[in-house]
Amino acid sequence: MSTAYSMNWPAVRAIYRFEMGRFWRTAGQSILAPVISTTLYFVVFGAAIGSRVSAVDGVPYGLFIVPGLIMLSLLTQSIANASFGIYFPRFAGTIYEILSAPISPLEVVLGFVGAAASKSILIGLIILATSALFVPLRIEHPVWMIGFLLLTAVTFSLFGFVIGLWADGFEKLQLVPLLVVTPLTFLGGSFYAIGMLPPFWHAVSLLNPVVYLISGFRWAFFGKADVNIAISLGMTALFLVICLGLVTYIFRTGYRLKS
Amino acid sequence: MPIISISQLSKTYTSGFTALRDIDLAIEAGEIFALLGPNGAGKSTLINIVCGIVTPSSGTVLVDGHDIAGDYRAARRAIGLVPQELTTDAFETVLNTVSFSRGLFGLRPDPGHIERILRALSLWDKRDSRLMTLSGGMKRRVLIAKALSHEPRVLFLDEPTAGVDVELRQDMWRLVRELRQQGVTVILTTHYIEEAEEMADRIGVIRRGEIILVEEKAALMRKLGRKQLTLNLQQPITAIPPELADYELALAADGRELVYTYDTRAERTGITGLLTGLAAAGIRFNDLHTEQSSLEDIFVGLVREEGARA
Ligand SMILES: Nc1ncnc2c1ncn2[C@@H]1O[C@H](COP(=O)(O)OP(=O)(O)OP(=O)(O)O)[C@@H](O)[C@H]1O
Ligand SMILES: [Mg+2]
């Protein structure tokens, strides 16, 4: 029988819809939260600080922070959604049904990661729309902008999925985002160009993978970047491959999923 | 061909604990098989391996000829599982969670089928209720509905009647019988002998990870039909008189008791003849009683006896 080779699309759809269901159930909160936080960022950084910082690379400061702001939410939301999405069924025991269903690891990942990425992309677009209320938006390479948005959302949803598989408690679920991702994002040039840093810190920043994401994304908006766009793209793709490898390894070995 | 064949199956958990040892078991299509055993015997471990939730350490399992590892899609598609633990998605509605299960198993939505199942389980009125608002018994029904949503050919019920009231238990038994009529194979685990007695075609007893008995219920019931008559003798005897050799007799309590085993369902129990014979042999008694072993006794006896030997 060829059943082993044909994809179980109804299962992917079922998982995807189940996961999105949680988002829509709390739609008010899901949508309001990013709108409020974006507004706050604009008030604090755009208006208060921006009035003193004239322009970065010829881009008004208020506009300059838009890509970083979106990236910041994209990373945190992707990781939070995906890690919680897979951790919770493990914690509650409902994972039994997924394990006993005729689903391949690829299909499980497509369902969970697809939903997590969709949610964070939606939130990214909401932030973009909110930004337009404060600053005149300008996007030089819209296709690349969407491309980076997708690539980043998928990559970090995969990363979140790995965390959700690895965590064996709610503390661990929050450990990585708190100790690693948030600092890297803030230090990755969300609110400044790393070229503004002294040479030593500039060099250190280049070890931060988030720098490449934000730089690439900013290039899509303004046509200017901290690092070469090809390198940005390459680094993002590399991280995607690493996450894919980790997920594959986890499913091969049944690590933390089956006893 | 059996619908499930398990051979040389063993499981050692990462803790080092061996929960199953060289299990060989064949389940025939269309039968109701009861797996009986005390807490921690390995019932859930066995079921969870067949269903893909626990990975075996060694051995093979075929479901309808499909290897659970090599051809897991075909194997799992045939199986519905109602787990022992009541785990549900608190915020989902009954209808959504049951439809979700059908999707997971790769089937197109079929509202008519889902409605039939929910009605059969008295869940239809609750279809829009969130799971967290349901009672434990209702949640158990929801888990059954989820397992039936994808039309399995084999249904595993891991302690379906634990913590369930009499009414739901009756419903459950009725449901299992209906399923059998539709040709569904049912494998259930239980601690309750009467449940196995009521439901099963065959009974397997598992203890400390080993199957120690698999028998047709009818055969077990034949053992059940046997009764023992114990006579307390006035004077101890050292041997059974030769003229009573035709009777199934045994001496007990240092010759002070004579035990006669007979079949209650035989045409003649032989009691009258025995008593006449005893009188003729001059054996007098001052008391007597009869007892019948239940499946429970057989079960407890088996588990104890094997326990002592181990
Ligand atoms: N994940 C695990 N890691 C280590 N040991 C385990 C694990 N799961 C079960 N066991 C052990 O394996 C043995 C068999 O457990 P299992 O749940 O299969 O028993 P059971 O027959 O279903 O018992 P019960 O009637 O209580 O449900 C038990 O001693 C249990 O402690
Ligand atoms: Mg059990």
Nearest to A13 among B54, B103, B105 (CB): B103
Contact A114, A197 (CB under 8 A): no
* B137 within 8 A of B165, measured Cβ to Cβ: yes
Q: Which atom of ligand 1 is the closest one to the Cα of B84?
A: 27
The distance from CA B241 to its chain's CA centroid, rounded to whole angstroms, is 43
Q: Report mean pLDDT in 10-residue bins for chain B, 310 residues.
A: 95 95 95 91 96 95 95 95 90 94 95 94 94 91 95 94 81 89 94 80 91 86 76 90 86 89 80 88 90 67 57
pTM: 0.83
Facing residues of B292 across strands?
B227
Higher pLDDT, A259 or A129: A129
* Nearest C-alpha neighbor of B189 from the set B40, B56, B295, B294: B40
Count of CB atoms situated within 10 Å of the CB of A220: 22
Distance from A253 to chain B by nearest Cα, in Å?
Answer: 10
In chain A, where do the E strands start and end? 55-56, 59-60
CB contact under 8 A, A18 and B85: no
* Model confidence pLDDT, tens digit, residues A167-210: 888 888 888 888 888 888 888 877 777 777 888 888 888 888 88
Integer Cα distance of B173 and B171 in angstroms: 5
* Pocket lining: A259 vs ligand 1, CB cutoff 6 Å: yes
Q: Which atom of ligand 1 is nearest to the CA of B41?
A: 21
Cβ–Cβ of B54/A13 closer than 8 Å?
no
Please indicate if any CB of chain B lies within 8 Å of the CB of A183: no
Residues belonging to chain B: 310
The end-to-end CA distance of chain A, in Å, is 29
According to the model, what pLDDT value does residue B49 have?
Answer: 97
Residues with CB under 5 A from ligand 2 (ion): B 43-44, 84
Element (H, E) at A77: helix A61-92
What is the 8-class DSSP label of residue A177? Answer: I
Beta-strand runs (E) in B119-164: 154-158
Least CB–CB distance from A11: residue in B85, B104, B146: B104
Which chain B residues are closer than 8 Å to A11 by Cβ? 103-106
User: Which residue has its alpha carbon closest to ligand 1 atom 24?
Assistant: B39
Token output for A234: 């390459």
- The CA distance from B20 to B42, in Å, is 6
pLDDT at A2: 41
Cα nearest neighbour of B143 on chain A: A97
CB-CB contact of B10 with B59 (8 Å): yes
Q: Does B11 touch chain A (CB under 8 A)?
A: no
Asked if pLDDT for residue A1 goes beyond 50, the answer is no
Give the residue, by CA position, lying nearest to ligand 1 atom 3: B13
Ligand 1 contact, B45 CB (< 6 A): yes
pLDDT of residue A255: 66
Give me the residue spans of the domains in chain A. Answer: 9-253
**A33-92 residues touching B, CB cutoff 8 A:** 92
Q: Which spans in B124-252 are helix H?
A: 136-148, 166-181, 193-199, 217-225
Task: Give the residue from A51, A18, A52, A26 showing the smallest Cα distance to A123.
Answer: A26
Buried b / exposed e across A23-62, counting CB within 10 Å, b at 16+? Answer: beeeeeebeeebeeebbebbeebbeeebeebeebeebbbb
The answer to whether the Cβ–Cβ distance between A94 and B79 falls below 8 Å is no
Please, which residues have CB within 8 angstroms of residue A114's CB and are 6 or more apart in sequence?
Answer: A12, A16
Whether residue A94 lies within 8 A of chain B, CB to CB, comes out as: yes
Highest mean pLDDT among A77-86, A244-253, B41-50: B41-50
**Cβ-Cβ contacts under 8 Å, B96 against chain A:** 18, 21
pLDDT value of residue A4:
45
Radius of gyration of chain A (CA): 19
List the single residue in B with minimal CA-CA distance to A1: B74
| Distance from Cα B46 to the centre of ligand 2, integer Å | 9
B54 shares contact with chain A (CB less than 8 Å): yes
Q: Out of B13, B72, B108, whose CB is closest to A10?
A: B108
What mean pLDDT value characterizes chain A? 86
Chain B positions in Cβ-Cβ contact with residue A21 (cut-off 8 Å): 92, 96
Query: Is residue A6's pLDDT more than 90?
Result: no
Domains of chain B: 4-222 (3.40.50.300), 226-291 (3.30.70)
Cα A226 to Cα A70, A206, A229, A237, B280, distances in angstroms: 17, 10, 9, 18, 115
Q: What is the pLDDT of residue A106?
A: 87
User: B276: burial class by Cβ within 10 Å (0-12, 13-18, 19+)?
Assistant: exposed
Closest Cβ–Cβ partner in A10, A17, A100 for B52: A100
> Is B42 a pocket residue for ligand 1 (Cβ < 6 Å)?
yes
Nearest CA to ligand 1 atom 1: A259
CB atoms < 10 A from the CB of B291, how many? 11
Cα B191 to middle of ligand 2, angstroms = 10
Q: Residue A148 and residue A227: Cα distance in Å, rounded?
A: 15
CB–CB contacts below 8 A, A to B: 86
pLDDT at residue A206, rounded to an integer: 82
pLDDT at position A253 over 80 = no
Helix (H), strand (E) counts: chain B: 10, 14
